[in-house]
Amino acid sequence: MSLPEGVELTELDGGLRVVTETVPSVRSVALGLWVRTGSRDETPGQAGVSHFLEHLLFKGTKRYSAIEISEYFDGLGAATNAATSKETTHLYSRFLDEHTEKALDLLTEMFLSRRSRRSTPSVRS
């Protein structure tokens, strides 16, 4: 695969692919996490589940509530969002380079963690 000048693709031992591009004159970072699962992977009975799961990314983690996630990224001056396509579901953020470690930590937690059942409000009929 041919990549544009300044763009590098690194594959880690576990198969995780990392794409980086360095632009020396820019201090901002655009960071995204993609999963190769989207609406095309859903059966008719599952239609919309990828999009639903995308929204759950912002509902909280073991350490942060939904409002705390929002406040955390606001405090970094970051723009954060997620999207679902036919082929992928992804979470992304843009922020100043000085916040890379903090933003990556929370984005990763959002992607890999979920709130415990005890901290989730119960629904009764």
Which residues are marked as active site?
54
- The one-letter amino acid at 81: N
Angstrom distances, CA of residue 27 to CA of 97, 98, 120: 5, 8, 38
3-class SS at 73?
Answer: helix
Q: Which residues pair with 90 in a beta bridge?
A: 34, 83
